[in-house]
Structure 1
Amino acid sequence: MKYKMKQKQNQQIARITESTLVVGADIAKRVHVARAVDFRGIELGKDCVFHNSQEGLTKLATWMKELGQAQGKTDIIFGIEPTGHYWFPLAAFLQNQGIQFVVVNPHHVNKTKELEDNSPTKSDYKDAKVIADLIRNGKYSEPKLPTKEYAELRILMNLREKVSDNLTQAKSRIGNWFDRFFPEYASVFKDWDGKVSLMTMRAFPMPADIVAKGARDVLAHWRTEVKRGIGIKRAEALYAAAAVSIGLTEGVVAARMELSTLLGQFDLFNEQLEAIMAKVMEILENIPGTAEMLTIPGIGVLTVAGFLAEVGDLNHYDHGQQIIRLAGLNLMENSSGIRKGQTGITKRGRSRLRAILFRAIMPMVAKNKEFQALHRYFTTRRQNPLKKKQSLIALCGKLIRVLHTLGTKQREYNALDVIGPVRQAQLQHVRVKIVMGIVHIR
């Protein structure tokens, strides 16, 4: 059954009853502010200022329970605006206490804060009340905090991204070093991160070192670890480039230390990436449905690991459309009266998840026959043909639904199921038209 956002909204509004204590809190790094209202928006009791510590969180839980008892409330719903990362320990603490934890969209808080006092003023005290009002009106969502292997996977994939950024930065700095001290090096070694090149950089970093050694001694050093694929011609080319190098000749002691340090960082980050991916592979083996998702042609370990790290347990989602909304790939209408504006995507979701899907779909339209056929159909159909990027975004949604189905039902990829009988007939019609067009041109 297709996921309906309207139905979900009604369920959230119905969740707030006369017996519900609605608490909104503005989260900071050290000190938080919470305020409580009833289902009509009437503020109850005084505000609660608490610190980000065990004592402070216990104070908050006690305040909510005592206020609920005093006001005759049997149910508590607590919400925050999820800006930054400071709310993670609070969310885990309240969930362990059995208190429902929800979040409101920061855009909603920013756009509705003037309804409170007809003023653009912003403060922790005011924001807490605005958040509570949004919750009682059903404008909230329940965060799916990752647990067990999904929590491990999210941390590892986030760490991998940071280490990859550090590795890219180290590579750029090494390239910068060559531009200053040995610009001609790239004419001999197109890729400086090969084994022979790295041996050269560690043993003979400066052009003068290579000239002093000579081509045969350089080759002899290479042969200590590499027996094939390298010969005297490469050594002579390196010697010739070093002999006429225009690289800097001042500060060579510091230059050697700089390159040695950069190579150490390069080795360290590569080792860290290997260790991270080994752990990721170990975790994926324990997640049901992972092997089935990897049967999709064009999908690799990084895509599946990144997808599960961002989404969490697929069994928490009734339909792939929920994940599409989580990624911010759901469509956004822009029309008024007779005016019909362009339709785009909301981008109100996890940007990292969108990036993972888009990077995955690019090679899929080239290697996966079914997605390639769908991409061709979307861009060439008679009614409402899509631009190439629009088609790729639409296929990202298709990929989400395929991953959700394979992951939850634990069945392997089937080309016929992906396209379906209706779409298959449409694709066949497009193929016939293309063939007839070619015949007509000839």
Structure 2
Amino acid sequence: MKSNRKDITNQRIERITMQHAVVGIDIAKDVHAAQMTDFRGRSLTPRHLSFSNTLEGFEKFLRWAREAQSKHRLTSLLIGLEPTGHYWFNFANWLLEQGIEVVLVNPVTTHRNKENRDNSPSKNDPKDALVIADVVSRGYYTDYLAQAAVFDRLKTLMSNREYWVKQGISLGNRIVRWIDLYFPEFRQVFPDWTTLRSLASLRACPLPCDLKGRSVEEVMDLWRKQGMKRAAGVSGRAKAAVLLATAARSIGDTRAVEEARQDLGHLLQTYDNVMAMLDEMDEALQSLLEEIPLAEQLRSIRGLGDLTVAAILAGAGDLRLYAHGRQLLRRAGLNLAECTSGTSKGKIKLSKRGDSTLRKHLYWGMLSLLRQNPDFKRWHANNQARGLKKQASLFKLIGKLARILIGMVQRGETYRGADFSPVAA
């Protein structure tokens, strides 16, 4: 299917012929609901079908759909799903394995069209299924296509990594809270608590009372026992002396010393485990990127790191399926939205209707490009010289990056800079 945005809705409508049976399915955790219509939205079944989220339920649905097709002499079947949480993945993939076309409907679209038939805000599963079928018949859907397994593996790994990154941030905030309660002066000595010397101190002598009566040499010896190879030296002695001095004047809470020490030990142990898992995941990501030829093309852009490349390929999938950079922007919710009525012109803003993780990594990737890539630095400076604000220029360059990425992938080329012609990959 062509992907010109001006014609895309018409093309989706024209795709549905008189021989199509359109099925809308309201996805739930345990029991799904299905309704069938023809290409004009007329109901073809007297009542909805409820089926379980099991293989038996899937087979029951397929028998029901085939019987209705045969009864109305329809040769094609188009299944529309509302992607609710993660409950739809298994069913959608099973349908693809059966050779059945699957499309997805945005839940926002379903919500806004639920009053079309009965002019009522009421909501139930059979009604939602019928609304989804109506929406599909009018072309308001996106295709769901199976991709190479390596992209699914990459997406799963990136999703897992995002979860553990959030857990690491949460643990870090909890550790900072602990420091503020029991040794608030600690951060005057170690502004960054994640450094080796700071972590060694938190493990060996976290509380001010643990440092009471100790000498500089004893503190450095505790650091050595925590695995620090360069615990001594001028800077080490100075840090130890300052740490002892601040501990002597600490106002930290001393009412639950043993419990506080135990709490910090658990937090640090869990934090270490999370950091070790993230390191393993980063190694796995790099290994997976070696299996994807597209990754090498994206890496050819100076400043686009492995994590950003992995996030783009995980969130967007196979970029060879995209015809224009605008599709990638819409996937990330970075397309522009404007609300205008009559003489009133609303503010233009980002739609944010897309993958938030992809959007985040495209933003961070652009910050990296503005630091390291001379082409993007120059384009950014030119944008600001023409009056664009910094953030507006940044998002404009994300659009340029999206067009560059899709163009490179379509032509099988690597990036050689704005002053050079791309070369074949």
Q: Where does residue 222 of structure 1 map in the other structure? A: 223
Q: Where does residue 337 of structure 2 map in the other structure? A: 332
How far is the alpha carbon of 1:146 from its aligned partner? 4.6
- SS of structure 2 residue aligned to 1:6: coil
| CA distance 1:329–1:249, shift in 2 (3 Å) | closer
TM-score where L is the length of structure 1: 0.88
How far is the alpha carbon of 1:404 from its aligned partner? 2.1
Q: Where does residue 41 of structure 1 map in the other structure? A: 41
Q: Where does residue 241 of structure 2 map in the other structure? A: 236
How far is the alpha carbon of 1:387 from its aligned partner? 3.0
How far is the alpha carbon of 1:59 from its aligned partner? 0.6
**1:18 lines up with 2:18 in the alignment:** yes
Pairing of 1:164-243 with structure 2 (within 5 A): 164-224=165-225, 225-227=228-230, 229=233, 230-243=235-248
Number of residue equivalences? 416
8 Å CA contact 1:280, 1:305 repeated in 2:
yes
Q: What are structure 2's unaligned runs of at least 5 residues?
A: none
How far is the alpha carbon of 1:221 from its aligned partner? 2.8
Q: Where does residue 393 of structure 2 map in the other structure? A: 391
CA deviations 1:231-269 (Å, max 9, x no partner) are 433222222222222112221111110010011011011
Amino acid at match of 2:9: Q
- SS of structure 1 residue aligned to 2:86: coil
Task: Report percent identity of matched pairs.
Answer: 40
In the aligned structure 1, how far is the partner of 2:335 from the partner of 2:128?
Answer: 28
How far is the alpha carbon of 1:63 from its aligned partner? 0.8
Q: Where does residue 27 of structure 1 map in the other structure? A: 27
Amino acid at match of 2:10: N
How far is the alpha carbon of 1:200 from its aligned partner? 2.1
In the aligned structure 2, how far is the partner of 1:347 from the partner of 1:418?
Answer: 34
Pairing of 1:2-401 with structure 2 (within 5 A): 3-45=3-45, 46-224=47-225, 225-227=228-230, 229=233, 230-381=235-386, 385-401=387-403
CA deviations 1:399-441 (Å, max 9, x no partner) are 1122223344343222226899xxxxxxxxxxxxxxxxxxxxx
How far is the alpha carbon of 1:198 from its aligned partner? 2.0
| CA distance 1:231–1:389, shift in 2 (3 Å) | closer
- SS of structure 2 residue aligned to 1:117: coil
TM-score where L is the length of structure 2: 0.92
Amino acid at match of 1:219: M
8 Å CA contact 2:20, 2:75 repeated in 1:
yes
| CA distance 1:350–1:144, shift in 2 (3 Å) | farther
8 Å CA contact 1:33, 1:128 repeated in 2:
yes
Amino acid at match of 1:251: A
| CA distance 1:323–1:217, shift in 2 (3 Å) | same
Amino acid at match of 2:111: N
8 Å CA contact 2:29, 2:87 repeated in 1:
yes
8 Å CA contact 1:215, 1:238 repeated in 2:
no
8 Å CA contact 1:13, 1:138 repeated in 2:
yes
| CA distance 1:252–1:333, shift in 2 (3 Å) | closer
Name which of 398, 402, 405 aligns with 1:403.
Answer: 405
8 Å CA contact 2:332, 2:359 repeated in 1:
yes
- SS of structure 2 residue aligned to 1:293: helix
Amino acid at match of 2:222: H
In the aligned structure 1, how far is the partner of 2:44 from the partner of 2:403?
Answer: 44
- SS of structure 2 residue aligned to 1:289: helix
- SS of structure 1 residue aligned to 2:191: coil
How far is the alpha carbon of 1:24 from its aligned partner? 0.4
8 Å CA contact 1:24, 1:130 repeated in 2:
yes
8 Å CA contact 1:327, 1:353 repeated in 2:
yes
How far is the alpha carbon of 1:98 from its aligned partner? 0.9
Amino acid at match of 1:88: F
Alpha-carbon RMSD across the aligned residues, in angstroms, is 2.1
Say which structure is richer in helix: 1
Q: Where does residue 417 of structure 2 map in the other structure? A: 415
How far is the alpha carbon of 1:188 from its aligned partner? 2.1
Q: Where does residue 429 of structure 1 map in the other structure? A: none
| CA distance 1:331–1:419, shift in 2 (3 Å) | farther
Quick check: 81-90 or 136-145, which moved more? 136-145
How far is the alpha carbon of 1:376 from its aligned partner? 2.7
How far is the alpha carbon of 1:351 from its aligned partner? 2.4
In the aligned structure 2, how far is the partner of 1:71 from the partner of 1:388?
Answer: 59
How far is the alpha carbon of 1:178 from its aligned partner? 1.2
Q: What are structure 1's unaligned runs of at least 5 residues?
A: 421-442
8 Å CA contact 1:370, 1:419 repeated in 2:
no
CA deviations 1:84-137 (Å, max 9, x no partner) are 221111101111111111011222211111111011111111111111111112
| CA distance 1:34–1:75, shift in 2 (3 Å) | same
| CA distance 1:417–1:326, shift in 2 (3 Å) | farther
8 Å CA contact 2:300, 2:416 repeated in 1:
no
Amino acid at match of 2:368: P
